[in-house]
Amino acid sequence: MKRLPLLILLTAIYLPASAQNLSDTVNSINNLFHRYQPENPGGQLSISQNEKLIFSKAWGLADLDHHVPYTTITVSEAASISKQFTAASILLLAQQGKLSLNDDVRKYFPQLPNYGSVIRLENLLHHTSGLREWSDLAAIAGWPRTTKAYANEDVLKMLCRQKKLNNVPGTEFIYSNSNYVLLTMIVEKVSGMTLPDFTRKYIFNPAGMTHTLWRDSYKKVVPNRAIAYSKNDGIYTINMPNENVYGPGGLLTTTEDLLKWNDFYLNNKLGNPGLLQQQLTIEPIIGGAETHYAAGLFVDKLNGVKEIYHDGQTAGYVGIVESFPALHLSIAWLSNTTEFKSGLFDEIEHIENLFIKNISANTDVKTGNPSHLKLGKAKELLGWYRYTKTNQGTKIALIKDTLYFNDTALMPINDSSFSYKSSSLRFNSSGGFVLHTEDKRNLLFTKEKNSEITVKYLQAFTGNYYSSETESNFIIVLKDGKLMIEKDNIKDATLLPTYSQDFDFNIKSDADLNPLRINILFKRDPQNKVVGCELSTSDARDISFNKIN
């Protein structure tokens, strides 16, 4: 993109009435980033409109050890923003006739199990394959990301051990980095080139992305790279993605390069002829649920305006790139700190409000007073419920005559139906309920029994458990009246009881912004003896463990 003077450019762009004054607009943008102080980690922001760079600036330090300032050419890791480049590589290879999006993934990896349903490359692109999230599998095995230098080949080995899928391919959208590890390896198998070489030739060089490369080895020396940090108890610590997995993440770039990419593909310059329509195509979900994920890109609306975007977070790196085609506007933000955990993208939301008017009224907002629910009927609905896909337990509680589900008030429509956020919840005759979500999913919850938590009850679950799917074991012990898991890097993870035979626990990982929540549902034989359990996360369901001597 051609760089023009900021003062000239900002006079020509669309601004809401409250921000017509040029200096006010520049000051507003600068003031939004005041929390990134000169002596702390920071980031880059770039904004373009009509294919011209209208704002580009950096804040803070890229390297605290050496007091190196962040600049507009500092290279940062883009985390899951990377996926759109891996997806674009697959689309280019399809256009070149070297593969088809309809191909069975086992054509390229015959060692993967046959699950009875074909997983197509299209399913990998759109996260509808059902493949379990590899990082969750690694965490359950006791070695979360950053505790080992995982490579793409390690992920493939994990996937080859899995006996189940999360879902039948094409029936659900479940975000899984495993999909994009396999796509990366397919690019390399089919093209005969590494993904870094392929993308440099067909994407980075044509788009003019002169500061972009891949972290295919965490030991690679990268000039001008920002070091990533976390902040705990007021102290910054280095938090780098020390792994060799790339394709789902691992792109090293600048915000200006990301805007060059936006202009390149949105002007249909990728491929010959252009591939823009395929990049933005949404795969229909079998059953009618809606998804907003195209080829490594989310396609949605913000304030009634079409938005194409992807965000990401890995270790201490954070980023987002978004475009609004109707306004010919693009915004990119990259940062090397996760210290502002409560609102990583607060500044970006404020910038969006500077440039985008709300042109659509929300017609889904329910008005008027809800129906009154009798106290006796409300008490009948109290208790634990199990989400059938992940076994996760959720409690419906009564607080001051109001029912709460996931800490959100349920607004009665009638005795069996409730409004829940932008969704609705309807109880059925069997005592469970169906949550009808805004994206047209129907999530089934069953009513479960409560358990009396006694030492005898807890003692039955202690012991050693092993899974061939993770090639790992863990030990459950009883300490101070609580069940705890002991396993390698998992130390004293407390099992929190939910419904009968079910518990939740968290695994902390330096690579994750939030701890990974894991559900564990125990299984008993006809003699009522505990013989195993199933562990589930939101992105890796029903991993079987057997109790062993």
Model's pTM, two decimal places?
0.92
Name the more confident of 352 and 362: 352
Report the distance separating Cα 15 and Cα 21, nearest Å: 9
Query: Of 542, 479, 474, 482, nearest to 507 (Cα)?
Result: 474
Distances (CA, A) of 111 to 161, 513, 529: 10, 33, 36
Provide the pLDDT for residue 298: 98
Task: Using alpha carbons, list the distances in angstroms from residue 74 to 255, 264, 374.
Answer: 9, 21, 61
3-state secondary structure of 397: strand
Domains along the chain with CATH numbers = 79-308 (3.40.710.10), 375-447 (2.40.128.210), 455-548 (2.40.128.50)
Averaged pLDDT, 251-256: 98
Tokens at 406, concatenated: 């996931």
For the residues 268-277, what does the mean pLDDT come to? 96
Residue 93 has pLDDT above 80, yes or no: yes
Contact partners, residue 305, CB within 8 Å, separation at least 6: 324, 326, 327, 356, 359
pLDDT tens digits along 176-206 = 999 999 999 999 999 999 999 999 999 999 9
> Is residue 70 scored above 70 in pLDDT?
yes
Arithmetic mean of pLDDT, 290-300: 97
Instruction: Kindly tell me if the per-residue pLDDT of 9 is higher than 70.
Output: no
- Residue 509 confidence class, pLDDT cut points 50, 70, 90: low
pLDDT at res. 496: 95
Taking the C-alpha atoms of residue 293 and residue 439, their distance in angstroms, rounded to an integer, is 12
The mean pLDDT value for 90-111 works out to 98
136: DSSP letter: H
Chain position carrying tokens 């195509």: 281
Confidence of residue 371 (pLDDT cuts 50, 70, 90): low
- Distance, in Å, from the CA atom of 470 to the CA atom of 524, rounded to the nearest integer, reads 21
**Mean pLDDT, residues 238-263:** 97
